[in-house]
Chain A
Amino acid sequence: MRSLLLAVLAAYLIAAIHSILAFVNKRRTLQQVAEWSMAVGWVLHTGVLIDEWAVDGHYPLFGSRETLSFLAWALVTGYAIVLYRYGAQAVGAFAMPLICVLTFAAMLLGRARNPSAAAFSPTLLFPIHTTLLIFAYAAFFIVFMASVMYLLQERELKLKTFSAFFHRLPSLSTVNEIATHAAAVGLTLLTLGLVAGMFWNWSEHGKVWRNDPKEIFAALTWLLYFVLALYRSTANWRGRRAAWLGVLGFVLVLGTFLVAPLFGSYHVFGLALL
């Protein structure tokens, strides 16, 4: 199975390199190579996930290795949707390298035997909770990237000096639209994911909320994106301020992911990040 994940990584690497080259060179053939190898990587990756599910007997989203791998897969899915809807190829030059790093890290960690995983939760609620959250975080990453692209270009337009980046990034209204839609999708997923988590918690432990650091971070994240969504829907265009919120929100997401476990959270299963 490791060799298959290696093939996935190889495909993503090819996609990443060609995305970057296409970003610099604007060659259509490079972009096509990038998209095809990304598609191949995604199909193989889906195969890896299904296989792990079948072999290990539990939903392939439990330990940190599985989380990283699943997150990479969700990001590819998200980028593919952005590509399909907006043709924003520039996103790939930044998303694909990260996806490679995630996949590589997942491969390094290797497969840990996690006997508790299968017995951990008999209900469907737990995998639903984690899957929704992973996709929400992938969406927030897209919001983050679109927001950074917005801020970069807005700054250059205001300063009236255009760098080489300027000519290669999608237009202001495109990145604004990507950020708006991705934030809406992310917020919906996050809400559903949190609700699923609460239900699961209640069914297992009889409590909805435990004041766990991860829960607090997640609640803050939710609040922030809720404000962002509110902003965007009341005034169609809040350009810069909304973009800053998009960046800030992602910092909170990273906090949920990386910092919260340090405070000793019961969300840590083995090395789990979720």
Chain B
Amino acid sequence: MSIILIGVNHKTAPVEIRERLAFDDAACAAGLRALVDGEVVREGLIVSTCNRVEILSETANEQIDLGAGRVTQFLDTSGNLGPGFLKDHLYRHTDEEAVRHLFRVASSLDSMVVGEPQVLGQVRHAYSLAVEAGTAGRILNRLVHHTFRVAKRVRTETGIAASAVSISYMAVELGKKIFASLKGCTVMLIGAGEMAELSAKHLVNAGASRVMIANRTEAAARQLANQIGAATVVPFEELAEHLFEADLVICSTGAPDYVLTEEHVRKATARRRKRPTCLIDISVPRNIDPATAKVRNVFLFDIDDLENVISSNIREREREAERAELIVQSEVMQFQQSLRLMDVGPSIGAMREKFQDVARAELARQRKKLGPLTKEQEAAVESLLMSTVNKIAHPIINQMRRLYGTSDTDAAPSPTDLFDLEE
């Protein structure tokens, strides 16, 4: 069998083409049923996200080109694009390359932002659609489950997704670095802007138990508080009095000068009995006096600091991605080996049966010459033959497993030919 992967992604096709190809759930199910005919295209799965549309399919070895043609045609018609229009944008991977590509996609190595966590969920969803449509069979089931395993390995064994690469997520990362866990932490938002909202949502998801919102227009604060849930509104004028309660402060107002001064922060840390405070100032012009960074156990980050950390985090992710590629490489080899063994399994059974048949036929031919035998003798002769045959077959089977499991199958004669077995 052969695995074919054909598709477009953000590197090969502009959004105008990707959006025309994109499948929603219903279209995906219908498309799969239309594409997978059980003869040429035997199994199929469609991954459709905003950055990629890819079709994974399985065909017989000798029908690769036919199958690939069908898939390409299917993409042409479903996108309402003329034949040949996609030619320059499509990539086509077969077998080992297809497996590697899928592993890389699910591990988020092929993503626009390397290490982003959504893509694995999207692959998972694509698989469940294929299962529902009944187009995921023996090979794809195996491949997709292996893919999940690889993605998990990459996630846990490399730092590819360990560090934040967006400003809104930096607050969570800094909070975790300083407080170990955000559980029980109190967050104060100064200003009710979009960025503050996004950060607050990340923080609440990460376990922050309380959010205080201070905004010049209280109505906006109230609205945001309702959206977040576990939030209280603090009058803007009383901001300084409540500062000591906050472990993490995210400041993003449009004020022209400092909202938090060094004195505010000094007083607050004294009341906090020197527990650390993390101040994040994402407003321009800055709203927190840079001098507060001098206060002990206060960690102040302005927008430039965050950008710097993010760009170093991105470099770190790229370094980690190299390690992830090694994991993918070794997993591709493992998967290919498991496929080859899967192929060889039935042949081994057939071979053993054939040997036993030969032995039984010989016994039947020579049986008369043995004369009358007791039941025990009869059984002894049979078991003697069978154990001889099995013992002869044993090293051959081991050798076959080794040969077809590890080396290039093309170099070795297929077991079917070697032992004259019928398929």
Contacts and interface: CB of A to CB of B under 8 A. Distances in A.
Interface of A: 25-28, 153, 157-158, 160-162, 164, 166-167, 170-174, 235-240
B273 A157 contact: no
* Closest 6 pairs (CB-CB, A-B): A171-B180, A237-B274, A160-B305, A173-B180, A174-B180, A27-B157
A173 B178 contact: yes
B275 A236 contact: yes
B176 interface: yes
14 contacts: A25-B323, A26-B156, A157-B177, A158-B299, A160-B301, A160-B309, A164-B316, A171-B178, A171-B180, A172-B177, A172-B180, A236-B274, A236-B275, A239-B297
Interface string B323-357: 10000000000000000000000000000000000
A240 B299 CA distance: 13
Contacts of B323: 25
B315 to A, nearest CB: 11
A236 B273 contact: yes
A162 B312 contact: yes
Given A25-B157, A172-B178, A235 B308 contact: no
B157 A26 contact: yes
Given A153-B177, A172-B178, A167 B299 contact: no
Contact of B297 (A25, A166, A167, A237): A237
The residue among A171, A236, A240 with the most chain B CB atoms within 10 A of its own CB is: A171
A170 B179 CA distance: 10
B235 interface: no
Interface residues of B, number: 28
Contacts of B313: 162
Contacts of B308: 160-161
Interface stretch (B37-45, B158-166, B206-214, B252-260): B158-166
A207 to B, nearest CB: 43
Contact of B276 (A25, A174, A237): A237
B274 A235 contact: yes
B162 A171 contact: no
A162 B162 CA distance: 13
B348 to A, nearest CB: 32
B82 to A, nearest CB: 49
Contacts of B316: 164, 167
A170 B180 contact: yes
Nearest to A236: B273
B274 A157 contact: no
Contacts of B180: 170-174
A160 B158 CA distance: 23
B220 interface: no
Contacts of B312: 161-162
